[in-house]
Structure 1
């Protein structure tokens, strides 16, 4: 359950974009360290449970809550600092071809109307 909760948190965070842009360097290092410790604790809990040492297994599972809370705090802090922005990459230019065609058509229409009246 703990690993699935952590995966869901990271999946939601992944939708925010590149973690290196979202997190600072220190936060990224702390997140990686916390994730590694969480994986270690869950592995130890599974190993202890397979050896029928359920008290030790429960200890590792309960201590993994601390890592989950820290990971959640890091991710929610990073998500709270995000701002939505809209950037225009290319400035809008007038459509030169369309303008040239319209001016040409207007000049042609004026020429046709003048030649008719003369």
Structure 2
């Protein structure tokens, strides 16, 4: 039996961009760019409490049909984009936070996604 190392229900990564936070933020919330990897994403309001839904490609053989409901749980322009995603059938929920921090020569983007647990 393999030994579990670390928390397998949370993913964290960071990336440095050589642009100020406002420019990184503008790219993060660009509907045109979201549309390149998320189908049917039409949200144009990035405000705490705003609900949205979209489709992604289904995972064959998993029962996941690709339909997601979400809501922004906290939004601070140029600083924080936090949201909760739930599969349409309610079987999976993920909480994610995208935090922008000033960093020498640009902006550090920290992404946390937690609760990767099927119900």
Q: TM-score range by the shorter chain?
A: under 0.3
TM-score, normalized by length of structure 1? 0.19
Structure with the higher helix share, 1 or 2: 1
Structure with the higher strand share, 1 or 2: 2
TM-score, normalized by length of structure 2? 0.19
Structure with the greater alpha carbon radius of gyration: 1
